Structure 1
């Protein structure tokens, strides 16, 4: 059988080219993913930045630890606690202590966000003066880089200052150094300090009141020290998703291609049966062909993956999906993993096809009819029905038990695959009626072309289903992935719009200045609600420490400027002894008392004053300022009082906010600016995933149509003998390819619509109805690309066949 398989591959190489290329690309992507994951695991640990030259850094406790029956559970606090005064006093007895402070600085003409520090901390980076001198007065500063020069006057949110010195640019921040006294007034609370003393003595003096950081651990005192880890986690998720999609589509394409090739070779298998071949020998022949293709394609995929991995790594760095240091390392296990995964994919893709080939009867060698019979086998019907019922049952279970699960990315990326496979298996049931529907109007036009297109596509069910399958995959994935994010973004935007009753919103990137808040509240005719971000922690079921994003607000002002979607209770019932929660909390009945930990780790027992629906997950909780210690206000929502002049109130607000650098926006402008949208990283990730699907679709379309058209030489010759011109035959082939592509596109849109309707139902159950969003432009682009590939892949072989 091996020698026959080798001769078959050599003779019918066009039949197996699509499977070879699809499997090779799948193995290549698995190789790339494995190399990327291995390289991310060996990521270099970021070195200290601001405190690279500091001997010892003492940082206030920044983690909440809670004992549970199954161990200690911890969560990071929104901001570190201040180092206790008695600890600071003990440290001063050991050596010099320098308190560190960081605060946002807004300056006109700055190249980007600025951060302020006391000058005494500059030596710990270290920063070195390149011009001028150190600041000595409250209105003097030193800046990093060359965007300002000595003598410049900068208008900042804290007043006008004069640049008296510049330092080297360390690359990790744009700093503005003030005198220590001025920095202490602008940022009264210090959460970390540098101690010039023996680390052992410092640890004994600190005890468990703070964290002592030495060596590489000093990086934890930098701003956002975990940004590389978060970026690598996102990168792993991206490659995991891409690998999963590639594995799914490659198996799908390989199985579809082999199944079609087996159907096209019925006469060949019938002749082998007439010559005495047993069903087992036929199955072993098909299996041997798959084995040969699997070995060759897997080896080629490993070589291709080794070449593509560095280019893909450079692309993800360029697109901001990975840190700048990310590069492919020298690892061998991804090659073994990819190669030995490719072989089972190849063999698994032909299991059903080989079984069907073994059932080919000797009499089928004598059949001349080109019409397909028995395209929907019993096994295919059972598997398709089972998968369809599974998709419906799991959707219903999720809607009844946990609708929020359907809004998670891992869910709306994986769920479409189940439905796609079910519809593809059942496609022979749907192909003939869809073809007749799509080709109904062309078939009514003068001439026989439209009728021939309809009858050819409807009669060749296997060929039509095999060509439509990759189009189905591409269109369904495009609609499901892009539509899910668009639907979720619309629901979140609708929630935000519903919650906002303000006319104007005042914002500041680093927080509102206290003096500006006082001026805003003093504006006549303005009802001002100032809110601050914080966090609240609760122990669910006694073992899970859950963090909820919280906002601190004044209840009366909040009721005037916001329309919180409440399921029970009222906003004005909120006070220093209560909390507003959402229905995701274990206890969410008005009047119940819950034990919580505040943003600084303080434990409190609060009464539930009101309950919000779960929504899309952004409702969070609300507390008063007394239960959000250290929270810095970042937003003021303003409602113009009845009878007040809106223009005058707006002008007064802008004047009050101008000296501190805050921005005054209309509510509509603020909603547009903060409305959820698909960012560049998410778009690039989806581009990678959908690019894989489109690439596989092109391979499957080209391979299937080349094989199908090559086997239609007699049919095309008959048309020429009947009087059709060469151009007419080519137009007929192109129209048939477009019709079949349209069938796949319609099925893909139906699958995407069903997936999005499930998400929309979940949003309605979560009290966040928005309506499903189908990305018609993306769907049209995907279907158009498939149509171009289909027409070219059908017309070119037909043209070559007609030349003979």
Structure 2
């Protein structure tokens, strides 16, 4: 049987080309993803940057630790604590101490991410003067980079300054160095200090009041020390999802290809049965073919992946998705995993087809018609029904148990796969009536299209299924992100419905007390300043849960904000209470909860009101007293009755001052803060959809080429009956478009069902339900599939029709 399988591969190479290409690409992608995941499994710690030469760095506590029966639970503090003054005093007895102060700076013509420091800290990087000198008096600064030159007077939000020197850039920040005294007035609080002393003596002096950093741990004093690990975690999620979709779609395409190939070879297998071949020998033949194709395709895919992985690494680094140091290592397990996965995919895809081939009876050799007598096989019906029931049951459990889980990215990316697979398996049940409906037009061509597509159900299903999968994926994934973004925007719109203006500071800063006093003094304006903060709560005695929060005074908050309350009133908020949402484990008005504030301070607060859960953005509200260290980063403004909005807007802009912030109308603020899918997630979804579309193209082209090559005699009979070559080609293209349209419609229905479940979850969370269909993406995907199907059908038909009709039909003249 092995020799028969090899001869079959050589004779029917067109039939197996699609499977070979799909498997090769699948294994290549799995190899690339595996190499990327292996190379990013452990991120090397960055070397210290700002304090590379500092002997010892003492940093205020930035981690909350809560003891539980199963061990301590830790979380990063939103507002790290400063180094206590008494601790700094003791450290000065050990040696020179340099207090570090960091603050944002906005300078005319300068980079947007400028950060200010005292000059004494420049030596720890170390920075070196490229031109000019160090600052000596207030109003003098030295800057990194070449965006300015010594002698220039620059306007900044910290007042006008004169550049007296420039420093060679170190690559990790754009810095402005003030004198130590000037920096201390701008930022009185110091969260870290550099000490020239013995580490043991420093630890003894500090005790538990702060952290002592030496050696490599000094990197923790740099800005965002975890950025590398966070970027790699996001990248791993992206590659993991793409690898899963690759395996899912490749199995589907290969299984569909083998099933269609077996259906086309019924008479061939029947002749083998007539000549004495047993069902087991037929099955082994099909599996041997799959083994040969799988082994060759997997090996090819590994070679392609070894060249594609470095290109991917360069791309993610260039796009800013990975750190600059990221590169592909010399791991070998991704090659083994990808190769044997490809081989397993080929064998799994051929298993069902081999059982069908083994059931072929000798009488099938006498069949002349190519019509399909069975709409769907029992195995396919069983698998499709089981997956459909699984999808329905798991969805029902999620909606009744935790509907909020359906709003998470992992859920709305993975859950639709069950329903999509079930729909693809069961699609032959509805394809026949659907294509008859789509082709219900007058004329002979429409009649032939209708009957050909409805009669050859296997060919129709093999073409429609990948289109269904791709359209359903595009609609489900892109529609889910658009729906959630719209719901979040609608929530923000509802919360700010009573505000006329929203005043925001310049990027990276907050409003000072003087600015707030000027804003409060604007006639006819009800001003509600608020700050971003967070609180932590221990649930079930073991889980330390962080909740984003805003700090605001209750009176102004009630006047400018309409909270989505399920119980209580915002006026009940005071310094001893908190407003929570229904997602909290304890969320009854009047209950007392133990929380830890943004700086780690423990408090026991009474629940004054409870908000609905919504999309997850309905966080927590506390008073400013319970947000130590938080700066005002937003001011909502409501108007008194009869107040002129233009006059108030002018007064607000005057109060803020030029360059220190902007005054937006409520509608402008809603548009400016409209939620957008983050860049990593968006690229991940596009990668997933690109893989699906690529496989769809392979499957469509392979199915059309295989189907058209087996219909040569049918096309010749049409030519002998009087049809012109153009009429035959037009009929072939119309058949392809009809089937693609049917697959797209089924995919749209599946996407609608997936988005309906998302809408149900939003409704159960009391969030705005605004289901969004990505019509442009769906139209583009369908058009691409249709164009490819028409080309793949027309080219083989045109080549076949170049021969004489009588010769094609096997008729002797």
For 2:319 and 2:367, the matched residues in 1 are separated by 56
Task: Please give the residue correspondences for 1:208-607 in structure 2 after superposition, counting only pairs within 5 Å.
Answer: 208-440=208-440, 443-444=441-442, 447-500=443-496, 501-508=498-505, 509=507, 510-607=509-606
Shift of 1:660: 6.2
TM-score (norm 1): 0.98
Q: Which residue matches 1:77? A: 77
Residue-by-residue CA offset, 1:273-325 (whole Å, 9 max, x unaligned)? 10111111111111111111111111011001011111122222222222222
Shift of 1:130: 2.0
Figure out how many residues of one structure are paired with residues of the other and give that number: 800
Other structure's SS at 2:67 match: strand
Other structure's SS at 2:546 match: strand
Shift of 1:39: 1.2
Shift of 1:640: 1.9
Residue-by-residue CA offset, 1:438-494 (whole Å, 9 max, x unaligned)? 112xx22xx311111111111111100000011111111111111010000000000
Q: Does residue 694 in structure 1 map to residue 686 in structure 2?
A: no
Which range is displaced more, 201-210 or 712-721?
201-210
Contact 2:269 2:357 in 1 (8 A): yes
Q: Which residue matches 1:174? A: 174
Over the aligned positions, Cα root-mean-square deviation in angstroms equals 1.2
Contact 1:159 1:659 in 2 (8 A): no
Residue-by-residue CA offset, 1:488-507 (whole Å, 9 max, x unaligned)? 00000000111112111111
For 2:107 and 2:503, the matched residues in 1 are separated by 18
For 2:54 and 2:93, the matched residues in 1 are separated by 18
Shift of 1:645: 2.1
Q: Does residue 101 in structure 1 map to residue 96 in structure 2?
A: no
Shift of 1:42: 4.8
Which range is displaced more, 719-728 or 642-651?
642-651
Contact 1:158 1:659 in 2 (8 A): no
For 2:94 and 2:264, the matched residues in 1 are separated by 86
Contact 1:516 1:660 in 2 (8 A): no
Which range is displaced more, 676-685 or 546-555?
676-685
For 1:681 and 1:382, the matched residues in 2 are separated by 38
For 2:726 and 2:138, the matched residues in 1 are separated by 85
Q: Which residue matches 2:754? A: 755
Contact 2:238 2:681 in 1 (8 A): no
Shift of 1:720: 0.6
For 2:340 and 2:511, the matched residues in 1 are separated by 58
Shift of 1:678: 2.5
Contact 1:130 1:167 in 2 (8 A): yes
Q: Which residue matches 1:669? A: 668
Structure 2: which 5+ residue stretches go unaligned? 804-813
Other structure's SS at 1:584 match: coil
Contact 1:158 1:660 in 2 (8 A): no
Which range is displaced more, 384-393 or 27-36?
384-393
Q: Which residue matches 2:774? A: 775
For 1:205 and 1:695, the matched residues in 2 are separated by 64
Other structure's SS at 1:619 match: coil
Shift of 1:79: 2.7
Q: Which residue matches 2:731? A: 732
For 2:316 and 2:759, the matched residues in 1 are separated by 32
Other structure's SS at 1:529 match: strand
Contact 1:476 1:749 in 2 (8 A): yes
For 2:754 and 2:678, the matched residues in 1 are separated by 22
Other structure's SS at 2:72 match: strand
For 1:174 and 1:666, the matched residues in 2 are separated by 32
Q: Which residue matches 1:656? A: 655
Residue-by-residue CA offset, 1:762-790 (whole Å, 9 max, x unaligned)? 00111112321110000011111111111
Other structure's SS at 2:64 match: strand
For 1:344 and 1:714, the matched residues in 2 are separated by 37
For 1:470 and 1:499, the matched residues in 2 are separated by 43
Contact 1:151 1:163 in 2 (8 A): yes
Residue-by-residue CA offset, 1:116-172 (whole Å, 9 max, x unaligned)? 111111111111222222223322222211212222222222222222222122221
For 1:735 and 1:322, the matched residues in 2 are separated by 47
Contact 1:527 1:639 in 2 (8 A): yes
For 2:755 and 2:319, the matched residues in 1 are separated by 28
Shift of 1:659: 4.9
Residue-by-residue CA offset, 1:716-735 (whole Å, 9 max, x unaligned)? 11101101111111111011
Contact 2:375 2:429 in 1 (8 A): no
For 1:330 and 1:681, the matched residues in 2 are separated by 26
Moved over 4 A (4+): none
Contact 2:130 2:165 in 1 (8 A): yes
For 1:793 and 1:660, the matched residues in 2 are separated by 60
Contact 1:250 1:696 in 2 (8 A): yes
Residue-by-residue CA offset, 1:524-552 (whole Å, 9 max, x unaligned)? 21111111111100000111000001111
Shift of 1:643: 2.0
Q: Which residue matches 2:718? A: 719
Which range is displaced more, 203-212 or 290-299?
203-212
For 2:778 and 2:728, the matched residues in 1 are separated by 30
For 1:775 and 1:214, the matched residues in 2 are separated by 53
Change in 2 beyond 3 A, CA 1:660/1:420: closer
Shift of 1:425: 1.0
Other structure's SS at 2:660 match: coil
Which range is displaced more, 646-655 or 252-261?
646-655
Residue-by-residue CA offset, 1:713-766 (whole Å, 9 max, x unaligned)? 110111011011111111110110111111111111111111011001100111
Which range is displaced more, 239-248 or 388-397?
388-397
For 1:197 and 1:477, the matched residues in 2 are separated by 61
For 1:696 and 1:571, the matched residues in 2 are separated by 54
For 2:656 and 2:159, the matched residues in 1 are separated by 12
Which range is displaced more, 526-535 or 656-665?
656-665
Contact 2:273 2:362 in 1 (8 A): yes
Shift of 1:43: 3.7
For 1:647 and 1:328, the matched residues in 2 are separated by 58
Q: Which residue matches 2:705? A: 706
Task: Please give the residue correspondences for 1:568-647 in structure 2 after superposition, counting only pairs within 5 Å.
Answer: 568-647=567-646
For 2:783 and 2:320, the matched residues in 1 are separated by 29
For 1:682 and 1:626, the matched residues in 2 are separated by 37
For 1:28 and 1:803, the matched residues in 2 are separated by 38
Shift of 1:523: 1.5
Which range is displaced more, 653-662 or 762-771?
653-662
Contact 1:115 1:173 in 2 (8 A): yes
Change in 2 beyond 3 A, CA 1:571/1:599: same
Contact 1:513 1:660 in 2 (8 A): no
Shift of 1:602: 1.0
Which range is displaced more, 149-158 or 2-11?
149-158
Which range is displaced more, 503-512 or 313-322?
313-322
Which range is displaced more, 80-89 or 469-478?
80-89
